[in-house]
Structures are given as structure tokens and as C-alpha cells.
């Protein structure tokens, strides 16, 4: 939410006929950050009217929090169990006679498969419901709970990717880079990278839609 003093200034400047570009430039010269300025400018729609027209600000409701928490929880479970399932297939394809136990591997495959068959459809269902709601009310793109959980998910994905790269480099330097280890590293990187890429694109799309 934009600073109240900044919002009042923007409202008064627009009401007195200043252009949005001139208002932004004045605020930049006064020392306000680009993010603060953009937030304040986005508070008012770029429409022709006698006075500045405020944009709707979505309210964070218990229902919104529930929907987003369920969606991201199912995403985390699905991503983890997908990685677990692929790990078990790698274990079967590249067995380690010192550690592998076929019965345990088969049990993990069944558990990962069961988890995916439940969690992923729930994720898709909730994500679809949220997408439909956003299509009806584009202001929901600016939901605080949506942004916080999305950026949290992106942060976790980045941390996993960095850890994955560190693990890969350590394997290379120690001379322990086996096909089994390399495939598992690729699985983790692809899953985390895919999640980060999708939500990075989603946030860019939200920003572009709100700027219109």
C-alpha cells in the first residue's frame, strides 16, 4: 500500500492538471524510490475524468487466504513427491548395491504416486478457481496474500536451485559425479527452475495487467 502522504500528493497533482509523467519526475527528484512512486501512481486509474479516479484495492479475506494457502501447499507437496518419484526411478535404473532395497523403493514409488494423484489435481482445481476469479475481477492480481506467497515460493525455488548447483559443483570437485547423482541433481534443478520460471512470468503478467 502506498504511503498516505505520497498518495495525497499524487491525487492533488493529478487533480490540478499535472501529467502523470511530470508527477513521477517531480517525485524522483524529491528522492522517492521508483517502487514507491509506481505504487502511488497505480492507486489511480489512467482515465479521463475531472478528478483522479482511484483504482479498487482488493481486501484480504479469510477465503482468499484459505484458497492461496491450499494451492501453494498442494504445489509444494506435488513438487516434492514428483522429485521423490523420479528419484526412485533413478535408484531402480542405477542401483547402488550398498544402499538400495527394492522393497523400500517400491513402497516409496507407491507413496509418491498416491500423493501426486491426490495433491496435484487439488492444486489444479484451486488454481483454476483462482484464475476464474481473477478473470472476473482483475484487481485480485494485486492481492497481498497472492504476492507474498508467490514471492515466498520463488525465494524457496531460488534457494533450492542454488543448493542444487552447490551440490553439483561439490560432486565435480570431489570426483564423485556419478550418473545417479547427476540425474538427481538435474531433477531437482528442473522442478525448482520450472516453478520459479512460471511464477516469475506470472508476476510479470500481473504487473503488466495492472499497469494498463
Is the pLDDT at 87 greater than 70? The verdict is yes
DSSP, res 140: G
Same domain, 93 and 25: no
Q: Specify the higher pLDDT residue, 118 or 44.
A: 118
Same domain, 74 and 160: yes
Q: Is 44 helix (H, G, I), strand (E, B) or coil?
A: strand
Same domain, 44 and 82: no
13 vs 15: CA distance, rounded Å: 5
Same domain, 101 and 189: yes
Same domain, 79 and 48: no
Same domain, 9 and 79: no
Are the C-beta atoms of residues 130 and 71 closer than 8 Å to each other? yes
Are the C-beta atoms of residues 129 and 67 closer than 8 Å to each other? yes
Number of domains in the chain: 2
Taking only the tens place, the pLDDT of each residue in 95-110 is: 776 666 666 788 899 9
Same domain, 193 and 104: yes
Q: Specify the higher pLDDT residue, 127 or 20.
A: 127
Same domain, 141 and 101: yes
Mean pLDDT of all residues belonging to the chain: 87
Span 123-139, average pLDDT? 90
pLDDT value, residue 95: 78
Total-model pTM: 0.75
C-alpha to C-alpha distances, 5 to 12, 33, 65, 161, 206, nearest whole angstrom: 11, 14, 29, 40, 26
Same domain, 47 and 70: no
185 vs 168: CA distance, rounded Å: 7
CA terminus-to-terminus distance, the chain = 18
Taking only the tens place, the pLDDT of each residue in 5-35 is: 888 898 888 888 888 888 889 988 888 888 8
Is the pLDDT at 2 greater than 60? The verdict is no
pLDDT value, residue 100: 60
Q: Is 53 helix (H, G, I), strand (E, B) or coil?
A: strand
Domain that holds residue 91: 62-211
Taking only the tens place, the pLDDT of each residue in 138-197 is: 778 878 888 899 999 999 999 999 999 998 888 888 877 788 889 999 999 999 999 999
Are the C-beta atoms of residues 178 and 132 closer than 8 Å to each other? no
Strand partners, 54: 44
Amino acid at each position: 500500500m502506498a504511503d498516505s502522504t505520497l498518495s495525497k500528493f499524487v491525487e492533488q497533482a493529478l487533480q490540478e492538471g499535472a501529467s502523470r509523467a511530470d508527477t513521477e519526475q517531480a517525485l524522483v527528484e524529491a528522492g522517492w524510490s521508483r517502487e514507491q512512486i509506481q505504487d502511488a501512481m497505480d492507486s489511480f486509474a489512467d482515465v479521463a475524468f475531472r478528478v483522479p479516479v482511484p483504482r479498487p484495492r482488493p481486501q484480504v479475506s479469510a477465503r482468499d487466504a484459505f484458497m492461496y494457502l491450499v494451492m501453494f501447499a498442494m504445489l509444494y507437496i506435488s513438487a516434492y513427491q514428483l522429485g521423490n518419484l523420479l528419484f526412485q526411478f533413478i535408484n531402480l535404473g542405477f542401483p547402488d548395491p550398498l544402499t538400495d532395497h527394492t522393497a523400500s523403493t517400491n513402497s516409496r514409488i507407491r507413496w509418491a504416486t498416491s500423493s501426486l494423484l491426490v495433491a496435484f489435481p487439488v492444486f489444479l482445481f484451486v488454481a483454476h478457481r483462482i484464475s476464474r476469479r481473477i478473470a472476473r475481477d482483475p484487481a485480485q492480481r494485486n492481492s497481498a496474500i497472492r504476492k507474498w506467497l508467490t514471492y515466498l515460493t520463488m525465494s524457496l525455488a531460488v534457494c533450492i536451485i542454488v543448493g542444487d548447483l552447490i551440490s553439483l559443483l561439490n560432486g565435480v570437485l570431489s570426483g564423485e559425479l556419478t550418473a545417479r547423482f547427476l540425474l538427481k541433481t538435474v531433477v531437482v534443478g528442473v522442478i525448482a527452475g520450472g516453478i520459479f520460471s512460471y511464477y516469475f512470468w506470472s508476476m510479470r503478467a500481473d504487473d503488466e495487467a495492472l499497469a494498463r
